[in-house]
């Protein structure tokens, strides 16, 4: 397996284009995570089917969020993306999120070249409000059967706030 953190940097962050490694495809209830130490994608757990991911999900290489993991990314596409795929995403915002008392933000992207719908999307304001509600509901509730109240979407931020979060995560990576 490729070590994604060695093979790929975060991308052109100031230009709003980032590299994303896909961990989980849209619609999956499998919680797959990058195991940095062993350099493999690893099944962490199986979630209840009612909490399948509303978007594909991944991370930005060479970043660390405040929870100690690579910075998470929500990828808005019509189709699910396969685990291990590397793509370039256009940053459109950030979901500020707390999980078990730790900051666990999610940068939101669309593919940088999406000839169906993505090229028209440059901010969260252009995403269907129902999808935003579904994403927020998912993350506020996906641990409710095991640990109610342990997750909370704090707010949605714009592109500038997302880029700031990415830069802070790059700095954490560089400082480790």
Annotated binding site for Mg(2+): 23, 67, 72, 99, 104
Nearest Cα to Cα of residue 106 among 150, 149, 161: 161
- Within the chain, residue ranges assigned H as helices are 4-7, 129-141, 159-175
Q: Which of 12, 14, 35, 104 is catalytic?
A: 104
Is residue 104 among the annotated active site residues?
yes
Torsion of CA 110, 101, 33, 107, to 10 degrees: 10
Annotated binding residues for substrate: 31, 45, 57, 142
| Beta carbons of 27 and 81 less than 8 angstroms apart | no
The answer to whether 132 and 124 are in contact (CB under 8 A) is: yes
Question: Catalytic residue numbers?
Answer: 104
């Amino acid at each position: 397996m490729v070590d994604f953190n060695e093979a790929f940097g975060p991308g052109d962050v100031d230009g709003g284009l980032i590299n994303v490694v896909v961990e989980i495809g849209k619609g999956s209830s499998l919680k797959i995570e990058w195991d940095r130490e062993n350099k493999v994608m690893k099944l962490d757990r199986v979630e209840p089917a009612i909490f399948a991911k509303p978007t594909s999900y991944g991370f930005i290489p060479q970043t660390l969020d405040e929870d100690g993991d690579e910075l998470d990314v929500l990828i808005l596409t019509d189709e699910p993306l396969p685990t291990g795929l590397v793509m370039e995403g256009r940053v459109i915002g950030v979901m500020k999120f707390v999980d078990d008392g730790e900051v666990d933000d999610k940068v939101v992207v669309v593919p940088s070249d999406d000839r169906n719908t993505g090229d028209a999307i440059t901010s969260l304001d252009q995403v269907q409000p129902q999808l935003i509600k579904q994403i927020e509901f998912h993350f506020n509730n996906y641990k409710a059967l095991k640990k109610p109240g342990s997750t909370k979407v704090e707010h949605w931020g714009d592109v500038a706030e997302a880029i700031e979060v990415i830069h802070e995560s790059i700095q954490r990576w560089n400082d480790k």
